[in-house]
Each structure stands twice: as C-alpha cells, then as structure tokens.
Amino acid sequence: MEQKIAEGLIYFVVFLLSTTLHEASHAWTAHRLGDSTAYDGGQVSLSPIPHIKRSPIGMLVLPLITSVTSGWPIGFASAPYDARWAIAYPRRAAVMSLAGPSANLALVLLAWIAIRVGVLTGLFVAPDSVRFGHIVNASADGFAASIAFLFGAIFSMNLLLCVFNLIPLPPLDGSGAVPLLLDEANGRRYLGFLHRTPGLLFIGLYISWQVVDFVFHPLFLAAVNLLYPGVHYG
C-alpha cells in the first residue's frame, strides 16, 4: 500500500509538471502567433502556480486525490485563447493546438534518451516485462531504482498525454489541428462550428476514452522495444 501511494505521488508530480509544460506551450505559441490571451493571464510559465490558479480542481485537487487513492492521477487543464482569433486564423490556431502534444512528445524523447544512456552505462537494465510506468529497472537498489521509475513515469505519462490529446475529436488538441488539412475558408467554418456546438465536447471525450487504449498500447510497446535492441515485449 505504501509503495502504491509513493508511486501515485510520483505520478502526480509528473502529471503536474507535464501538464504545466503542455499548457505553457499552448500559451507561448498562441502569443507568438498573435493571441496574447493566455500570455496576459500568466500561462506562459513553467511554474505550475498560474495553471493551478486557472484550474485548481483539474490541476491539483482531483489528480492529488486520485493519485493517493488509486495510484493514478486524473485531471485536466486548459490555456485560454480568443475564439475570434482562432476563427480568423485557423492555421495559426491549429499550430497552437499542436504545441501542447509536441511538448509532451519532447519529454518522451528526453526520458527515452536518459533511459537509453542509463542502459548503455550499466546504470539501468531491461526488465523481464513492461507495463505503464515500469519500463526500466536499475542495476542496483536504492536511489537508482527511484530514478528509473521516475524516467519510466515521465516516458509513459507523456506518451499517453501526447497520444490522447492528438485524437481528432473535440475538445482535444487533435481536433484543433484539423484546419491544417483544410483551406482557410473551410478551416474557419470548421472552428466556427465547433464553437457553436459545445455539446460535441462531451461526446468527443466519451469516444476518446473508449478508443485511446487501442491506439496507445501498440505505440507504447513499439517505443519501449526501441529502447532494448534484441528484446521484444508484446
């Protein structure tokens, strides 16, 4: 039980920092592309405090409670933007939407590199089996084992955040990126339709929760298998 709570708290910290980077990337990109709504609200920050102030339930209360009780954080966050700007510049808004998942992907790559370096130097070893968060073992007990779990948690959670948010259904970032596939006029119509139909958010979230594991699991195994040449996890 104590180990479950300890791992849950590590997941909570990883969630907090990863979500902060995700939302700050949205806010910074929007600011660079002409919408300073989130910038003026303090969301262009790597400190979690402004993001917690905007979404205290989703960023702090709910993920902390679920991390302790279930060993896994559940939460949400958002960066504000001007809908009029998004509709006027649908491609810019699409790039802004992709900034958050791109930040999570960057953290996946950094964790992957750190684990790979640890394996090459003998600090880490391949486990007998893998699951979410548990993708690398330390060659010795103690502090190294905690670091191994931390890197595994960063890798796994950010891969999940990236994959989940790229599902092209509202309110997820993948839906906001659709205008990159459309011309300007249809991009405006598409974003205008989304903003006029808020009920789609609940439908999109429900469907996304049903399909994310089918998308995430094979990608997770493929990424982990690349860590260990000659070892195959299935």
CB 16 within 8 A of CB 25: no
Known catalytic membership, residue 23: yes
Q: What is the pLDDT of residues 173-194, one digit of tens each?
A: 999 999 999 999 999 999 999 9
Q: What is the pLDDT of residues 8-62, one digit of tens each?
A: 999 999 999 999 999 999 999 999 999 999 999 999 999 999 999 999 999 999 9
What's the whole-model pTM score?
0.96
- Other beta carbons within 10 Å of 91: 15
Q: Which of 2, 7, 23, 184 is catalytic?
A: 23
Q: At 4, which amino acid appears?
A: K
| DSSP letters for 137-160 | EESSSSHHHHHHHHHHHHHHHHHH
